[in-house]
Amino acid sequence: MTANEEAEYYVTDLCPAAARARGKSSCPRTAPGRKDHGYLLGVQEDYFSKGKNESGDSKLRFETYHLLWQEMKSETERLQEELNKNLFDSLIEFLRKCHSGFHNSSHWGYQIKLREIPTAALILGVNVTDHDLIFRSLTEAIQNNVTPYVVPLKAKDCPDIKHLLQKFVTQLTNCCGDVKSKDSVQVTQKTSCSMDSLTTWYKTVTKKTGPKMPSKKRITSSQWQPPPVVLILKDMESFSTKVLQDFIIISSQHLHEFPLILIFGIATSPIIIHRLLPHAVSSLLCIELFQSLSCKEHLTTILDKLLLTTQFPFKISEKVLQVLTNIFLYHDFSIQNFIKGLQLSLLEHFYSQPLSVLCCNLPEAKRRINFLSISQCEDIRRLPSFRRYVEKQASEKQVALLTNERFLKVETQSLLENLHVYHLNYFLVLRCLHNFTSSLPKYPLGRQIRELYCACLEKNIWDSEDYGSALQLLRMLAKDELMTILKKCFKVFNSSSETQLGSTAKKIEEFLAEFQNLDEAKEEEDASGSQSKGLQKTDLYHLQKSLLEMRELRRTSKKQSKFEILREKVVNFIDCLVREYLLPPETQPLHEVLYFSAAHTLREHLNAAPRIALHTALNNPYYYLKNEALKSEEGCIPNIAPDICIAYKLHLECSRLINLVDWSEAFATVVTAADQMDGNATTSEEKNEIIHARFIRAVSELEHLGFIRPTKQKTDHVARLTWGGC
C-alpha cells in the first residue's frame, strides 16, 4: 500500500468528498474514533507498518502521532468551547428569562398572554458543516442549566406537520427518564400526535417529576416552576413554509399550558424569517437575535494556538497552509474540515517521514536520539538541510558527522534544541511585526497573522516589496499610534521568559520612556512659546513672508525633529529583529523532522476531482483494484475488466451518437475473447442473454454517471455527453 492510499484509508471518514472522488466510500461504522476505536487502532497500526514503513520504529511513530493528535484535538475542543461561551451564556440567560416570564407578570409574561412564542434567532454563518457541533454543545448546555426538555430537529425529517409532531413527541419523551410516561406517549403516538395530547403529557410529567430541574441550588416545591420545552430548528431556511406556519399557529394556541421556546438556526440572514413567514404568523413570535463568532476569527484562534506556538512540535510549510486556508476561504468556511485537513497532514507526516519519531517534545526527542539505529542515522545524513549544514562545517567536523554515530547523535540533540529556540524567537517576533503592520493602510503584509506567517514561511520577508512599503508607512506613524503598538510588543516579549529576547523587552521599555520624555519636553516648549508669541504682533505681509522663508529653510536643510529620529530608531530596531529571527524554516537544519511540506499529497486527498477520478477508475481499473491481471497495454481492453470499464472504453471510440447494436456487439466480442482463444467460438443462447444483460447494466450505470443519455434523433442510439479522456 502506498503512502497516498494509506492516507486515503484514514481520511475516508474525514473527507467523504475526497473519498468519493477517489472511488471509495465513507464508512462511519469503521471510522476512527467510533465504537470500534480500539480495534481500529490496531488495524491502523498494522497499515502504518506496511510499505515504506517496515522499520522497527513504525509502532512508536504511530503512537507518537496518536498521542500528539489527541493533545491537539483536546486543545481545539477547549478553544471552541471558549469561543462559544459568550454565545451560550447569552442564550441561556435568554431562556431563563423566558422561563421566569411564563409564570411572572413580567414583559415575557405579557408577551405570552398575547400568544407570542419566545424565539431566539441564532445566526451561525454559512459554515453549515460546523453547525451540528455547535447545536450538540448548545443542547448539552441547555440541558445542564435550563431544562431537560430540549429537542433538535432538521428539515429533512419534517416534510409535513404530521412528521414534525411525531419527531417532536418522540424526542421529547426520550428526554424524560420516566418509563411509564414514555409508554403512555407511545400509545398516544399510535392514536394521534397533536399539541393537545402533548400538553396533557407535559402536565402529567411535570406533576410527577416535581422539582427535579438540573440546578446547583436547592429549590422547594412551592418555589419550583415546571421547566420549559426548547425546540431547536437546526436549519430553519430548509423548512417548508407551510410546516412552519402551521406549527407556530398551533403552538401559540397552547402556549399558556405548554411553555415552548423556539431556537432558529440561521445560516444566512434573519430576514429569512420574514421571507418564509407572513406577517400574521411572524407576529406570533417574539424574536431576539444572537450572533455567533465569525468563522474567520475561529480560524485565527485555531492557527494561533495550534501552529503559532511551541506547545505542539508539528508544523506545516507555506504551501500546505495555503492549501488548507484556500479550501476554508473559497469552499466551505468549515473549521471542522480545516482541523481534519490538519489531522491528515499530521498523519501523512508521520507515515512518510521516518525521522518523524523525533517530532515530540524536546526532552523526549533528546532521549530518543540516543536509541537511534544506524539506518536512522543515515536518514539524518541524507536530509537536505543537514547536508547543507555539514558543508558549512570544518573538515574535521564533517568527517565526524559522516562517520561517527555517537558524535552525530550529540550534534542532532544540539540542532533540535536550536530548532526549538528558533521557534520560540520566531513566533514572538512574528507577533511583534504583526502588531506593527496589521493596522497600516492597504495592509501590505496582510491583515491577519496567517497572511504574514505564510509570507515569512515562503522566503525572506525583507526581500519583498511589500515589506519595504510597510517600513515606509511605519516611518510615517504618529506618536500615539507608535506608542500603542510598542506597548503591545512589550507585552508579547515580556510574556515569555524562555527566549533570548529578554533584552528586547527592556529596549522597547526604553523607547517608551524616551517617547514619554519627548511629551514632557514638548509641553515645556509649548508653554514658553505661547508666552513669546503673545508679545509678537505683525501684519499679514510679514506673516506670509516668514512662512515662505520657513518653507524654503525646511526644503534646504530638512533637519529631523527628535521624534522623527526616535521613530527611525524604532523602525530600524524592528527591521533588525525581523532580519535576525524571521528566517524561513528551510534555513534551519533538521526542519524536515517537524515540518510537513507535501502539499500535492494533501491537495490530492482534500480537493476532490470527480471527473479525473472516475476516468482513472474506468479507464485503468488496476489503479484501484490492484489486480495484476488487469494490467494491459495502452489501447487494449482486458476481457476480465469490470463490465462498466469495458463499456466505457468502447464508448470512448465512438462519435457523438452511439449505435447501441454496434456497441453491444463490440462488448460481446471483448467479453467472449477468452472463449474464442480456447477454440470455443460458438456460444449458447443462454450465454448470449447473460452477456446482453451485463451490457444493459453497464450502459445503465454509465447513464447514471452522466456519460450518455437517450436521444430522440435515432431510436437505437444514445448521445454521448463527454468528449476526450479527462
Read off the C-alpha cell for 589. Answer: 537544519
Average of per-residue pLDDT across 61-75: 93
DSSP-derived 3-state class of residue 709: strand
Residue 204 has pLDDT above 60, yes or no: yes
250's CB contacts (< 8 A; 6+ apart) are 161, 195
What grid cell was written down for 234? Answer: 437546526
List where CATH 1.10.10 sits in the chain: 610-720
Q: What is the pLDDT of residue 466?
A: 93
Nearest to 447 by CA among 457, 461, 436: 436
* 28 pLDDT tier (thresholds 50, 70, 90): very low
Mean pLDDT check: name the lowest of 57-71, 580-594, 636-650, 671-685: 671-685
Element holding 626 (H helix, E strand):
none
What is the rounded CA–CA span in Å between residue 231 and residue 153? 8
**Residue 14 pLDDT:** 37
Q: How far apart are CA 26 and CA 605, in angstroms?
A: 13
Average pLDDT of the residues in 317-343: 93
Task: For residue 500, give the H/E element and its range.
Answer: none
Average pLDDT, integer, range 5-24: 38
E-assigned strand segments in 208-284:
229-233, 260-266
Over residues 446-468, the mean pLDDT reads 93
pLDDT tens for 177-200 read: 554 444 444 544 444 678 888 888
Q: What is the pLDDT of residue 588?
A: 95
Q: Is the pLDDT of residue 1 over 50?
A: no
- The Cα–Cα gap between 229 and 289 comes to 19
What confidence score (pLDDT) does residue 646 get? 92
The cell numbers describing 439, all together, are 493596522
Does residue 464 register a pLDDT over 80? Answer: yes
Categorize the per-residue pLDDT at 522 as very low, low, confident or very high, splitting at 50, 70 and 90: low
Q: Residue 314's pLDDT is what? A: 96
Percent pLDDT > 70 in the chain is: 77
Determine the pLDDT at residue 57: 80
Q: Provide the residue count of the chain.
A: 726
Please state the rounded mean pLDDT for residues 640-654: 90
pLDDT (tens digit, 9 = 90+) per residue, 347-386?
A: 999 999 999 999 999 999 999 999 999 999 999 999 999 9
Residue limits of CATH 3.40.50.300 in the chain? 102-293
Res 629: pLDDT:
82
Tell me if the domain spanning 102-293 has CATH number 3.40.50.300: yes
pLDDT tier for residue 174 given thresholds of 50, 70 and 90: confident
How confident is the model at residue 23, as a pLDDT?
A: 38
- Report d(CA 615, CA 603) in Å as an integer: 18
**pLDDT at residue 469 above 70?**
yes
Task: Write the Ramachandran bin of 26: left for phi over 0, alpha for psi from -120 to 50, otherwise beta.
Answer: beta
Q: In angstroms, rounded to a whole number, what is the distance separating the alpha carbons of residues 643 and 691? A: 10
150 touches 99 (CB < 8 A): no
Which overall architecture, per CATH, does domain 610-720 show?
Answer: Orthogonal Bundle (1.10)
Per residue in 82-116, pLDDT (tens digit) is 989 999 999 999 998 887 766 554 555 555 556 78
Helix (H/G/I), strand (E/B), else coil: 352: helix
Number of alpha carbons in the 13 Å side-chain half-sphere of residue 541? 0
Query: Is residue 314 helix, strand or coil?
Result: coil
Please provide the DSSP assignment of 44-84 as one string. HHHHHTSGGG-STTHHHHHHHHHHHHHHHHHHHHHHHHHHH
Looking at every residue in the chain, the average pLDDT score rounds to: 82
Helix (H) or strand (E) holding 286: strand 285-291
Q: Is the pLDDT of residue 633 over 80?
A: no
Single out the residue of 348, 367, 270, 329 nearest to residue 127, CA to CA.
329
Its sign, for the CA torsion 419, 422, 426, 427, is: positive
Instruction: List the grid coordinates of 33.
Output: 474514533
C-alpha of 705 from chain center: 31
Residues 6+ apart with CB under 8 A from 229: 147, 149, 151, 172, 202, 258, 259, 260, 261
